[in-house]
Amino acid sequence: MAARPNTINSSGGVSLTGVRFRYPRGFELNIPAMEIAGGEQVLLAGPSGSGKSTLLHLIAGLEEPTQGEIHIAGTNIFQLRAGARDIFRGRHIGMIFQTFNLLQGFSALENVMLALMLAGYASHDQRARALAALDRLGINEPDARVEALSVGQQQRVAVARAVAGEPCVVLADEPTASLDPANATTSIALIQEAARNSGAALIVTSHDPSLRSAFTRVIEVAA
């Protein structure tokens, strides 16, 4: 598998050089070079099974490449030990999942605060940051349990959790896969605005061709 080259000059954000990832069945994701600038918004497009999610997991440091280097804000993340990489991820990378991955039984505020705690933010700073992020995203009842919120509100909590720590990169893996076209458009606009307000680069994966018009840069990931 290979991503078609689409690079820019950048001194920050995300940089991949000579990255390869081999799947157990012998398929290979091959990224010779890719640069995404700080604040840039990019769509990783391609059919299901093309390697989009794997590429996102590599950038997040959740999967290790067979070879190559991945730099986030100038740091080679695979030169960090596992524990240090986890802390780095919490501080510098916000993640939005298709199914939100919110903790049931906890409030919206607690979900965001927990992410900040795991990222190493001081306890006195966690509540203020979490409340500010939720407020910016229109969550007016931060103490409500997440399972009592609508699907749209749950996604807003998930986005707040991703941007509360002011990461340099936000990764969103198929965030609109379960939504109808109208709600998908609204959802992407919400994610883009939140990333823009936090100054983060945004990398979104999707197999939905209707999202292409929302991005000025699309990187094709294809077998």
Quick check: is 142 in a domain? yes
Residues 177, 187: Cα–Cα separation, whole Å: 11
Quick check: is 31 in a domain? no
| Mean pLDDT, the chain, integer | 90
Quick check: is 85 in a domain? yes
What domain range includes position 178? Answer: 38-61+81-222
Quick check: is 212 in a domain? yes
Residues of the chain with pLDDT under 50: 1-12
Residues 37, 206: Cα–Cα separation, whole Å: 20
Cβ neighbour number for residue 189 with a 10 Å cutoff: 11
Structure tokens at 152: 């749209």
pLDDT score for 7: 32
Quick check: is 200 in a domain? yes
**Do residues 34 and 6 make contact, with C-beta atoms less than 8 angstroms apart?**
yes
pLDDT score for 24: 86
pLDDT score for 208: 87
pLDDT score for 146: 97
Quick check: is 23 in a domain? no
Quick check: is 130 in a domain? yes
pLDDT score for 223: 55
Residues 156, 153: Cα–Cα separation, whole Å: 5
**Do residues 205 and 44 make contact, with C-beta atoms less than 8 angstroms apart?**
yes
pLDDT tens, position by position, 38-60: 999 999 998 888 899 999 999 99
CATH value at residue 140: 3.40.50.300
Quick check: is 102 in a domain? yes
What is the number of domains present in the chain? 1
Residues 197, 21: Cα–Cα separation, whole Å: 33
